[in-house]
Chains A and B, each alone.
Chain A
Amino acid sequence: MKAAVSAGSLLLEYSGDRVKTSPKESLRDIVTEVDMYAEKKVISILRKADPGCQILTEETGRLTGTRGDKLWIVDALDGTVNYVNHIPLYNVSISCVEKGNPVVGVIYNPVLGDLYYGAEGYGVYRNHVRIKVKDGVPGECLFAAAFSGKKYDPASRSEEFLAFEKVNDTSRGCLRTGSASLNLSYVAEGRLGGCWGKANKIWDIAAGIIIANLAGAHVEYHYLNPEKSLVSYAVAVPSAWDYLSGIVLPRK
C-alpha cells in the first residue's frame, strides 16, 4: 500500500506537466518518463520492505532476487493514455504472487483517492470500507472491456469488436475505460457486472484479479504467451458469468 500510494502521489505531482511520451508496440501503447519515475519509486519501496524478492515490472522487466517463492508484479501507471490526456482514470497496480497464485493486490487511483486492497484471508476493501461484488443479471449490469495494446491485427481485432458489440447491445452497456485495473476494481466494488480483456499484460491485471476474486467475482485467466506476459481473462459477478464467458471466452 505504501508503494502504491507513494507512486500515486508522484503521478499526481507530474500530472499537470507536459509529459514526454515514447511509443511502444502501437499508437496506444506508450510510455512516459513518469511511468519510469513511478516504477523506480515502487521498486525501491518493495526492495526495502521485502529484500530478496523478485519483481516483474512493466518497464524494467524482471528483477531477480534471492527468494524464488515470491514475485511482486508492478504496473506503476496503468492507463498511461488516460494519464497523458488528463483523464483521471489511471492507477498504480501492485500484486504479490506466491507459488504462481496472486495473494495480495493493491490498486490506487491517486486522483480519486481510491485505494483498493485485498489479501487472501484478510478480506478486500476500498479505503476503509469492506467491498463485495453486486450480483445481478446481465441485463442490469454494466461491463467493461480492455482491448489489447498490441500491434493491429485485423482478425483478432475484429473478434474483440464483435464481443464488445454483443455485450454492449445486450446489457446496460460496455465501457472501454483505458485501465484494466480500474475495470477489475470496479467489478470488485459492485460498480461493474464484469470485464474482460484479450492479450493484456499480466501487470495490468494481477492485482485486480485477486481483488475481484476476494470480493466474490468469478475469475478466469490464462496465459497466451508467458514469455511476453500476455494474458486473457474474464471476470464477472456470479449471475453474469455464464453470459459474459459465453461471449468473450473461446469455446472449449
Chain B
Amino acid sequence: MRRVLLVYGAGAIGRGYLPWVFSPQEFDYYYVETNPAIANLINTQKQFTTCRIRNGAYECMTVPVVQCFRPGEETAVIDKADAIVTAVGPRNIYPLSESIKGTTKPVICCENDASIPSLITTLTGNPNVVFAIPDVITSNTAPPELLNKDPLSIVTEDGTCYIDERVSYLGGNCIYINQDELSKQWMAKLYLHNTPHCIAAYLGYILQVNYLHESMKNPHVDRIVTGAMNEMQQLLAKKFFIDQQFIGWYADKELQRFRNSLLFDPISRVAREPFRKLAPNERLIGAAQLCVSCGIIPQNILLGIMAAFCYDNPADPDVNIKYLMDSLAPKDFLRIAMQLRPGEALYELLLKRWDNDIGTLRNLNDI
C-alpha cells in the first residue's frame, strides 16, 4: 500500500535528497514551501527532477508531487501522513511547530542542528520527533543543461542518511542507528563537515567564484580548508575520544566531496547567514573555542572566521556584518558583534592576527 510523506521545505534536502531515501514508488509526496515561485512551479509541473551523482555521472529521477502547499494550507494532509519530514532551517522551526501542533505522527528532522527534535517536542507536545543526519551535499540548483530540461532540477550526491532507529518501521534507503551512533555521526558532521565546508564557501566568496568546487581549485583555499579539517580531527580525537580511523575516513570523504566538480554547490547557500555560523556554540567561533580549550591553535579556522567576517553579500539576511566590519574597530567588532570578551584567548588570538589574516585573505588570488 502506498504511504504519504509530508515534507516541510522543498529546498536542497527536501526536494533533492529525500526522494532517494523514501522512494516516490512507495510514498506520495506532499510539500510545504514558503517560496511562492518554487511552490507554484511544483504545482504547475506536478513533478520535478532530482539527479544524483554516481560514478562520475548524473542519475536522474522524476519525482511526482501530489501538491505543494503554502504554510498553513497543509492541515488536512497532516492527518493522513505516515510521516512528516522537516528540512527548513532553524529559523522556520517555530512557525512549523505551530502548524503541526497536536499531531502524534512521526516527525523526522533533517536539520543542521541536533537540538531541533527536542525543541519541536517542547513546542508541539509530540514525543515522536527524531533526528536524522543526511550525510550528503545537495545543491539547491543544477547545471544549465539540467535546468533547461526542468527548471526545478536539483543535484545531489549519493549520500547516506542516518536516522534514529525509533522510526525504523518507515523503511527506505537509509541507515537506522541508535542514539549513541547518531551522536557520533553528528559530531563528525558538525565539525568535520560543517566547519571546513563553510570555510571553503567564505574563502570562495572572497575569490568571487560561485561554486564550492571552484573555490577548492585554488591551492591556497585547499590548503586552508585541509588545515581546518586537520584541526577539527585533532579536536574530535582529543576532546570527544572518537576513534582516529573513523575520523580519518570521514575527513578524506569530506574533502573529496568539497572538490567534486559535478556537485555545483553554491557558495551563496553554504555561506548564508554568517552570524548564525559565527554564534558562540556554532561551527566557527564554537569550534575555534573548543580547539583553544584543548590546546590546539586553530590557525586555519581563524582564517575561516576572518573570511566569514568579510562576507558582505548584499542579498544575505546577515548583510549587516558589512556595516559592522566597515564601521567598528576590530576590538569593538569582536566585542559587540561576536560577543567575545576582551582578554579571553580567542578574542586575543583574532585581534593579534587581524591584519596578517586580512592580508592573507586579500592575497588568495596570488598563485
| B328 A127 Cβ-Cβ under 8 A | no
Q: Does B329 touch A at the CB level, under 8 Å? A: yes
A6–B275 CA distance with the chains assembled, in angstroms: 23
| B336 A115 Cβ-Cβ under 8 A | yes
| B335 A2 Cβ-Cβ under 8 A | no
- In the complex, what's the smallest C-beta–C-beta distance from A212 to chain B, in angstroms? 18
Interface residues in B305-352 by Cβ distance below 8 A to A read: 317-318, 320-321, 323-324, 327-329, 332, 335-337, 339
Q: Does A51 touch B at the CB level, under 8 Å? A: no
Q: Does A139 touch B at the CB level, under 8 Å? A: no
| A2 B327 Cβ-Cβ under 8 A | yes
- In the complex, what's the smallest C-beta–C-beta distance from A21 to chain B, in angstroms? 28
Contacts of B321 in A (CB 8 A): 128
A127–B339 CA distance with the chains assembled, in angstroms: 9
- In the complex, what's the smallest C-beta–C-beta distance from B341 to chain A, in angstroms? 10
Q: Which of B317, B324, B339 has the most CB of A within 10 A?
A: B324
| B328 A122 Cβ-Cβ under 8 A | no
Q: Which of A117, A125, A128 has the most CB of B within 10 A?
A: A128
- The closest CB in chain A to the CB of B320 belongs to A125
Contacts of A128 in B (CB 8 A): 275, 318, 320-321, 324, 337
| A113 B335 Cβ-Cβ under 8 A | yes
- In the complex, what's the smallest C-beta–C-beta distance from B245 to chain A, in angstroms? 39
Interface residues in A118-163 by Cβ distance below 8 A to B read: 122-123, 125, 127-130
| B323 A2 Cβ-Cβ under 8 A | no
> Which of B318, B323, B332, B335 has a CB less than 8 Å from the CB of A117?
B323
Report the interface size for chain B: residues with CB under 8 A from the other chain.
15
| A113 B323 Cβ-Cβ under 8 A | no
Contacts of A117 in B (CB 8 A): 323
Contacts of B323 in A (CB 8 A): 1, 117, 122
Size bracket, chain A contacts: 10 to 19
- In the complex, what's the smallest C-beta–C-beta distance from B324 to chain A, in angstroms? 7
Q: Does A5 touch B at the CB level, under 8 Å? A: yes
A interface, by DSSP: helix, strand, loop or mixed?
mixed
Contacts of B317 in A (CB 8 A): 130
A9–B329 CA distance with the chains assembled, in angstroms: 12
| A5 B320 Cβ-Cβ under 8 A | no
- In the complex, what's the smallest C-beta–C-beta distance from A124 to chain B, in angstroms? 9
Decide: A123 near B320, CB < 8 A? Known: A5-B332, A128-B337: yes
- The closest CB in chain A to the CB of B274 belongs to A128
Q: Would you give the 0/1 interface string for A173-210, flagging 1 where the beta carbon is closer than 8 Å to chain B?
A: 00000000000000000000000000000000000000
| A127 B327 Cβ-Cβ under 8 A | no
Interface residues in A196-230 by Cβ distance below 8 A to B read: none
Interface residues in A42-99 by Cβ distance below 8 A to B read: none
| A127 B329 Cβ-Cβ under 8 A | no
- The closest CB in chain B to the CB of A2 belongs to B327
A93–B339 CA distance with the chains assembled, in angstroms: 21
Listed A/B pairs (15) with beta-carbon separation below 8 Å: A1-B327, A5-B332, A9-B332, A113-B336, A113-B339, A122-B323, A123-B320, A125-B320, A127-B336, A128-B275, A128-B318, A128-B320, A129-B275, A130-B317, A130-B320
The 8 residue pairs across chains A and B that have the minimum distance between CB atoms: A1-B327, A128-B275, A5-B332, A128-B337, A2-B327, A125-B320, A115-B336, A127-B336
Q: Give chain A's interface residues, CB within 8 Å of chain B.
A: 1-2, 5-6, 9, 113, 115, 117, 122-123, 125, 127-130
18 additional A-B pairs beyond A113-B339, A115-B336, beta carbons within 8 Å, are: A1-B324, A1-B327, A1-B328, A2-B327, A5-B336, A9-B332, A113-B336, A117-B323, A122-B320, A122-B323, A125-B320, A127-B336, A128-B318, A128-B320, A128-B321, A128-B324, A129-B275, A130-B320
Q: Give chain B's interface residues, CB within 8 Å of chain A.
A: 275, 317-318, 320-321, 323-324, 327-329, 332, 335-337, 339
